[in-house]
Chains A and B, each alone.
Chain A
Amino acid sequence: MITNLLFLLLVGAFVGAASGYLGSFMVLKRMSLVGDALSHVALPGIAVALTFGINPMLGALLALSLATFGIWYLGEHSEVYPEALVGVFFTASLSIGLLLTPEPELLEALFGDIDKVTTLDGLMVIVGALLIFVITKFISKKLLLGVVSEDLAKSQKISIKKINLIYLLLVSLVVALGVKFLGTLLTGAMVIIPAVTAKNLAKNIKGFHIGSSVFGAISAIAGILIARFYDISSGPAVVLTAVGIFVVSYIIRRK
């Protein structure tokens, strides 16, 4: 039981750190809500996976990747500002997901259930999180230069389109990883909150990235422990812990 809890804490920390790290770029790119909206797309994927008896994380990942290509394509090729389309697209997929998901699993799909995390799930999460860290680190300079000045990045022959696509795919991966812990409705929160918290306190970009990852990991660990102790759902516990840390950081910053 204890080893099981330790394992869950470890896996949770990986999810939290990876989503925090990715989120730090998302906050700078001023697309905070994309992670949130994206997480809704996971639901139909989970529903289909449950129906066919495959791992819901894989179903979520598949649906998310498809959606990501969709958003990316709209963003790069359509004249219409993508935000409105994204909103329509995501609420639609949430509704479809609600209809498709078998009733007994619905609550779990929406808010996560940490007791359903198997050893295999946990290992998948850890590998996925490591992958996210390595790839994000590799493209981080290009991503940031794109944030600072797209023209400058392009003048250095950096393909912003390609970098953005890789980045969005990583975001869908992190959302898929978080689905079992936090559920589809709340995984987006873990991409945003730790990053915003770190932004309140960071003096430089390095501190910002480290802070986002650490706050993500701490929120996950503390949240899971609180959930266990009070026997409540892990998703809301983790998110509310993150919110609590954010409030503290906000007060510190204002001083």
Chain B
Amino acid sequence: MEKKAEILSVLDLSVEFDGHRILKNISFSVKRDDTLAIIGPNGAGKSVLFRALLGLIPYAGKIEWAPDAKIGYVPQKLAVGKDLPLTVCEFLGFKEKEKVKINEVMRSVGFLENAEHIHNDKRVLDTRLGDLSGGELQRVLIAYALLDEPNILLFDEPTAGVDVTGEETIYELIHKLQAKEDLTIIFISHELQVVNHYANNVLCLNKENISFGPPMKVVNKETLAKLYGEEVQLHEHIEGHHDH
């Protein structure tokens, strides 16, 4: 497999809902093993872009995945109430029957890191989805996506509704996943410092493609002003991009 071949190319993508243009002529491409961050203000169409990439909504233009692309999707949240009697184990069981594999994937998202978690592992598997904390649910969703060994992961705001400590765990997890061979990651985020830490490429989105490229080039005062308005200041960590 050629390492830097493109796994996704998007050309002139436009999406309309009821005559409203949500996305207009978006073009970008993602190379195998890359990590792409999609940023932009609320209502910029980030989630819509994801849904188009997943083929859930009609669109104009071209979305081309590599023939061997296998997508794992991590939704932002689930439509579960506290009263849904569905346990983590049963949820993961939608995809995988073997308990060994379920345990393995739970470990890979950090549910067995220390003694506390060994005890928790059982608890977590038998817990209802609605009873999990935001961070725990997010990790379970990642585990679900990982179950059929995808080579692309789509994260819709991985840390929405997650508290600060949980946030760290999730980004550490994403960082760990980046090290995996042949795993392309595309994630939506609000947080600029995270983008700089983890992404090789950034797509700044505000209905139309404002800019696309490595964070160092793309995330600058000008694009941010265009994206969020003038009031957003560049923090120093924006400059501190480091490779993993």
Contacts from A to B (Cβ < 8 Å): 28, 141, 144-145, 147-152, 154-155, 199, 202-208
Chain A interface, DSSP helix/strand/loop, else mixed: helix
Q: Is the CB of B85 within 8 A of A204?
A: yes
B71 at interface (Cβ–Cβ under 8 A)? yes
Name the A residues within 8 Å of B144 (CB-CB).
152
Q: Is the CB of B90 within 8 A of A149?
A: no
CA distance A29 to B227 in the complex (A): 39
Number of A-B contacts (CB under 8 A): 54
5 contacts between A and B (CB under 8 A): A148-B78, A148-B80, A148-B86, A148-B91, A207-B85
Name the A residues within 8 Å of B78 (CB-CB).
148-149, 152
B176 smallest CB distance to A (angstroms)? 23
B 117-149 binary contact with A (CB < 8 Å = 1; else 0)? 000000000101100000000000000100000
Q: 9 tightest CB-CB pairs across the interface, nearest first? A: A155-B73, A202-B85, A204-B87, A208-B85, A155-B54, A141-B94, A205-B86, A205-B90, A149-B78
Q: Is the CB of B56 within 8 A of A154?
A: yes
Q: Is the CB of B126 within 8 A of A151?
A: no
Known contacts: A148-B78, A151-B51, A154-B56. The answer to whether A28 contacts B84 by CB under 8 A is yes
Q: Which of B46-94 contact A (CB under 8 A)?
A: 51, 54-56, 71, 73, 75, 78-80, 83-87, 89-91, 93-94
New A-B contacts (17) at CB < 8 Å, excluding given A152-B78, A205-B87: A141-B93, A144-B86, A147-B79, A148-B78, A148-B79, A149-B79, A150-B79, A151-B54, A152-B75, A152-B144, A155-B56, A199-B85, A203-B85, A204-B86, A204-B128, A205-B85, A205-B86
CA distance A44 to B228 in the complex (A): 60
Q: Is the CB of B126 within 8 A of A204?
A: yes
Q: Is the CB of B90 within 8 A of A206?
A: yes
Q: Is the CB of B79 within 8 A of A204?
A: no
